[in-house]
Amino acid sequence: MTINRISHITVYVTDQDEALAWYQEKLGFEVCMDNDVVVPGMRWLTVCPAKNAATQFVLMLAREESDKSRIGTNLMTVLSTTDCIGDMARLAREGVEIIGPPEEVPWGISGVIRDLYGNPYNLVGPG
């Protein structure tokens, strides 16, 4: 088989600038692409963890009703961190919704947040 990685995760949003600000300010993500060349007439906006463009999050403007029904319905996405407890404390101070405080699990430290649209993210770091 030749499938070897996830390259993009699509997150439907109501406002790309609002979503961009949240992912940059709260998660520290960087802009990978922001143009209308990839798909003419549509803003192609992707962000990624700092210095890691291998996995990009597409902040896709929901235009059609079928797209709008997808806002906030992504499955759990796991984000790796070197300091889960510290990151979760910072995110809580910044008003990010914490739905599962950091706790020790067999694979390290794990905590769960929601983004501004309700999508869940599991932050996992070493124990």
DSSP-derived 3-state class of residue 34? strand
Separation CA 62–CA 110 (nearest Å): 31
Q: Exposed, middle or buried, 77 (CB in 10 Å: 0-12/13-18/19+)?
A: middle
Which pTM was predicted?
A: 0.94
- pLDDT score for 81: 97
Fold of 73-127: 3.30.720
- pLDDT score for 118: 98
Fold of 1-71: 2,3-Dihydroxybiphenyl 1,2-Dioxygenase; domain 1 (3.10.180)
- pLDDT score for 99: 98
Domain ranges of the chain: 1-71, 73-127
For residue 27, which of 115, 93, 98 has the smallest C-alpha distance? Answer: 115
- pLDDT score for 39: 87
pLDDT by residue for the chain (127 residues), tens digit each? 799 999 999 999 999 999 999 999 999 999 999 999 988 989 999 999 999 999 999 999 999 999 999 999 999 999 999 999 999 999 999 999 999 999 999 999 999 999 999 999 999 999 8
Contacts for 61 with CB less than 8 Å, ≥ 6 apart: 12, 13, 14, 15, 16, 42, 43
User: Strand 77-80 to strand 97-105: parallel, antiparallel, or no bridges (unpaired)?
Assistant: unpaired
- pLDDT score for 71: 98
